[in-house]
Structure 1
Amino acid sequence: MKNLFLLFILYLSTILANAQTKLVKADAYLNVRTGQIVKPANLIIKDGLIKSINPKSIPDNIEIIDLSGKILLPGLMDMHVHLHWDEDYPTATLFKESTSEAAFRGARNAKKNLMAGFTTIRTVGQDHPSIELLDVEIDKAIKKGFIDGPDIIPAGHAISISGGHYDLSMFDTFSAGVLEFGIEHGIADGEDEVIKAVRYQIKHGAKVIKIAATAGVMSLGGSVGALQFPEKEIIAIVEEAARHNVKVAAHAHGLEGIIVATRAGVASIEHGSILNDEAIELMKKQGTYLVPTAYLNEPTDLSHLPEAMRKKAEEIMPKARASHSEAIRKGVKIAFGTDVGAPKVIAHGENAKEFKTLVNLGMSNINAIKTATINAADLLSMTDRGLLEVGMRADIVAVDGNPLDDIKALERVKFVMKGGEVYKNEK
């Protein structure tokens, strides 16, 4: 009798174990490493990992997720996200919201990114005056299961010079000298202050440091590409971040800023609008990634921008398109990033529009897909994602159509799994 009871317990435990195991079935999956479509696609998922692919036998009593007619890809990754931006002009929203409102806005937008198939995102500046690092807190809430969203690699506040691109007190909602921002908000001048600003962001949970190496389209003064941090301060930022095993992403439009930031050792150049042969060869030598946010430079209506910003955008956009095309042609490492939430340009959940732009600039479909998978994983130094292979984290998306033939198939994500859990499953 005792033996029968033990056998029953063993049988029951086997059933329960298999019940926690999933079989994801689809027509095929994309091997991003080789660029090949592999048929069929039978992926065994357990403990949040891919345990086997196309095994000879399937365990009994396993949960089956039938995605017939679809193709599987690794979960996508966006390296340039602003969770607290929305499509409307940010000064009309962000600076008038409480910290709680901004957190709810960011949480909603995080879910939109996940539902679009982006299972990992890197935030690059929260763009809200709260001293709390809201992207850090949203990531905590996601990890605790309070809300649904992607894995977030948070930057907290971007680091900027006083009066620089990320000095929010320069926007017309505030008055410089009345409400000044300091190190807690990432505003720092001189080597001592920038080191302290890096330490502050990391102390409060930042996993990447974002800096404004140059001005930008939305800077209220100066040329769009004007160098803001001197090289010695960028070096100090990079070295301090490296002591904490944290990488640095540099907002840089102008040529001088791109060269200075690359030489200083940043991991990625964000935007990279004006490149020449010197900058391209330096980035290749250093192994620096370009995150081009290329969709921003598609021809669009700019009438919503103040005149000074509009003129800068009109000047920089064609130069950026030419620079990005040349960087792709000459083999600069590219990681996917959208600047999603940018006013009147790209909405949260529309991240995949970037793929078509990359292809239009000269990328093959498979190389465009690599920017949001294995390239992004490499930029993040994350070896557990970016591929559908045994032992990798079960971050999986499914699309209608073959993205090697039609890159816009990635705009039609029907299924999203993150860490072995299903968050979206549409027919």
Structure 2
Amino acid sequence: MKKLTLTLLAVLAISSVFAQRTIIHAGTLIDGVSKKAMNEKSIIVEDKTITSIENGYVTPREGDEVIDLKNHTVMPGWIDMHVHMEGETSPDRYIREFTDNPADRAFVSVDIAKRTLMAGFTTVRDVGGSGVNVALRDAIAKGTIDGPRIFTAEKSLAITGGHADPTNGYRDDLMGNPGPMDGVVNGVADARKAVRQRYKNGADLIKITATGGVLSVAKDGKGAHFQEDEIRAIVETANDLGFHVAAHAHGDEGMRRAVANGVKTIEHGTYMSDATMDLMKEKNSYLVPTITAGMEVAENAKKPGYYPKVVAEKARVIGPKIQSTFTAAYKKGVPIVFGTDAGVFKHGENAREFTYMVEGGMPAIETIICATSTAANLLGMGDQIGTLKAGYLADIVAVPGNPLEDIEVMKDVKFVMKEGKVYKN
């Protein structure tokens, strides 16, 4: 009996040493940190983790799986810091506010999650929806459905009549008086309660609408929407609970108030002034450009009836300006992280943002770093994702050719691995 036990232990020891590995032969490798690409590398993956990256093309041993990406550029899975996973643009979007149930949005979100993952985005930050995106996050984490790793703000916070007031634009008898439970804030006490409600509902971060918006049915798209004491209370309460705060902002005064009071990311930033750019640098606050959304709403505004009149008028003016603001912010040295506002355009087309960022003056390698290690660090996951390195989770994507020579190839993802599992090859 003793001899048999020793034999079994020996077999187990040998099998653990020679556990099945996946070896990715990468023709070109971008690690998510360095500004230089590397050639002819082998990424060794075991279970969910990268165990090593070797020079040259490692010869497999018995039982290894080899994935040949010698004609591809291999990089960390991309991170989109601004998405809305519960739906996407359509001419009937405003009517569906009254016809769709949460279950309807949930079924739609399953397809959206898969499209997003297949497009190379292994992690996303959902900055405003409902409890559906919390359930979606959990279902993906459990392996029930396929999709990216999700960090969610659950319901965005707004003032009464603000961009994320859930009854904004409704007829009088349907407006009611939403409060902190619904993410509507008027005063410091409301602000703290609304943050704590998001915590109770399962959020991972807080998102406020610091100014008016484009797609909400309200005239103002630029005005400041929170008082500074309200923003301060939101940030303090969020930080107590381990959250960072993101702020939707088009107008300059609203984003200035947000940055001055500790908000970590500014979404859109359309009318950002030089002074606010300087403040963002001082406070190490990041711009999330969402250029794709700006381009999309400007185009949709040209289609008769696509948006309500009040929305179309804002979209025509605000949309085209986002890219030029991005260019100015980049030249100024404002910290920037990748984000698209997918949902305002079709999910799965998130990689369009890389092209617009390059057009706006950012080198291709920097756009990739923005979408990998920079984003991972902001999410507090910089020691697990966003970099191709031993000990990190095996979130890996590949595109044909070389994106540093032709950024358009980022739209043609051929390989997706998340936590060591191949979803597209």
> For this structure pair, what is the TM-score category when the shorter chain's length is used for normalisation?
over 0.9
1:135 aligned to which of 129, 133, 136 = 133
Task: Give the letter for the 2:133 counterpart.
Answer: D
2: CA distance between counterparts of 1:178 and 1:94?
A: 13
Q: Which residue number corresponds to residue 164 of structure 2? A: 166
Matches within 5 A, 1:246-285: 246-285=243-282
CA contact (8 A) 2:168 2:218 kept: no
1:91 and 2:94 equivalent? yes
Matches within 5 A, 1:41-52: 41-52=41-52
Secondary structure class of the residue paired with 2:414: strand
Q: Which residue number corresponds to residue 225 of structure 2? A: 228
Matches within 5 A, 1:1-12: 3=3, 6-7=6-7, 10-11=10-11
Matches within 5 A, 1:253-402: 253-298=250-295, 300-302=299-301, 303=303, 304-342=306-344, 346-383=345-382, 384-402=384-402
1: CA distance between counterparts of 2:211 and 2:310?
A: 17
The worse-fitting range, judged by mean Cα deviation, of 416-425 and 19-28 is 19-28
Task: Give the letter for the 1:154 counterpart.
Answer: T
1: CA distance between counterparts of 2:97 and 2:397?
A: 32
The worse-fitting range, judged by mean Cα deviation, of 162-171 and 253-262 is 162-171
Question: Percent of pairs identical after alignment?
Answer: 40
Secondary structure class of the residue paired with 2:315: helix
1: CA distance between counterparts of 2:419 and 2:291?
A: 29
2: CA distance between counterparts of 1:114 and 1:9?
A: 40
2:187 aligned to which of 166, 185, 190 = 190
> How well do the aligned residues superpose, as a CA RMSD in angstroms?
2.0
CA contact (8 A) 1:365 1:407 kept: yes
CA contact (8 A) 2:290 2:322 kept: no
2:122 aligned to which of 95, 104, 119 = 119
CA contact (8 A) 1:29 1:40 kept: yes
How far the C-alpha of 1:178 sits from its partner, in A, is 5.1
2: CA distance between counterparts of 1:177 and 1:101?
A: 21
Structure 2: where are the runs of 5+ without partners? Answer: none
Structure 1: where are the runs of 5+ without partners? Answer: none
Task: Give the letter for the 1:166 counterpart.
Answer: A
CA contact (8 A) 1:19 1:63 kept: no
How far the C-alpha of 1:415 sits from its partner, in A, is 0.8
Q: Which residue number corresponds to residue 26 of structure 1? A: 26
1:75 and 2:77 equivalent? yes
Secondary structure class of the residue paired with 1:40: strand
After superposition, what is the alpha-carbon deviation per residue over 1:157-182, rounded to whole angstroms, capped at 9, x for unaligned? 0011111111121234x645555433
CA contact (8 A) 1:85 1:94 kept: no
How far the C-alpha of 1:19 sits from its partner, in A, is 4.6
Count residues in correspondence: 416
How far the C-alpha of 1:154 sits from its partner, in A, is 0.7
1: CA distance between counterparts of 2:274 and 2:396?
A: 38
CA contact (8 A) 2:159 2:186 kept: yes
How far the C-alpha of 1:2 sits from its partner, in A, is 6.5
TM-score of the two chains, using structure 2 as the length reference: 0.92
Task: Give the letter for the 1:363 counterpart.
Answer: M
2: CA distance between counterparts of 1:64 and 1:418?
A: 17
How far the C-alpha of 1:7 sits from its partner, in A, is 4.2
1: CA distance between counterparts of 2:372 and 2:107?
A: 28
CA contact (8 A) 2:323 2:356 kept: no
Q: Which residue number corresponds to residue 153 of structure 2? A: 155
How far the C-alpha of 1:47 sits from its partner, in A, is 3.3
Secondary structure class of the residue paired with 1:266: coil
1:181 and 2:178 equivalent? yes
After superposition, what is the alpha-carbon deviation per residue over 1:235-273, rounded to whole angstroms, capped at 9, x for unaligned? 100000000110000000001001010001101000100
How far the C-alpha of 1:185 sits from its partner, in A, is 1.9
Q: Are residues 178 and 226 of structure 1, via their aligned partners in 2, closer, same or farther at CA, if it must alter by over 3 Å? A: closer
Secondary structure class of the residue paired with 2:42: strand
1:204 and 2:201 equivalent? yes
1: CA distance between counterparts of 2:209 and 2:252?
A: 14
1:419 and 2:416 equivalent? no
1: CA distance between counterparts of 2:252 and 2:337?
A: 19
How far the C-alpha of 1:374 sits from its partner, in A, is 1.4
1: CA distance between counterparts of 2:375 and 2:80?
A: 8
2: CA distance between counterparts of 1:415 and 1:140?
A: 24
1: CA distance between counterparts of 2:122 and 2:17?
A: 26
1: CA distance between counterparts of 2:219 and 2:282?
A: 31
How far the C-alpha of 1:213 sits from its partner, in A, is 0.5
Q: Which residue number corresponds to residue 244 of structure 1? A: 241
The worse-fitting range, judged by mean Cα deviation, of 30-39 and 257-266 is 30-39
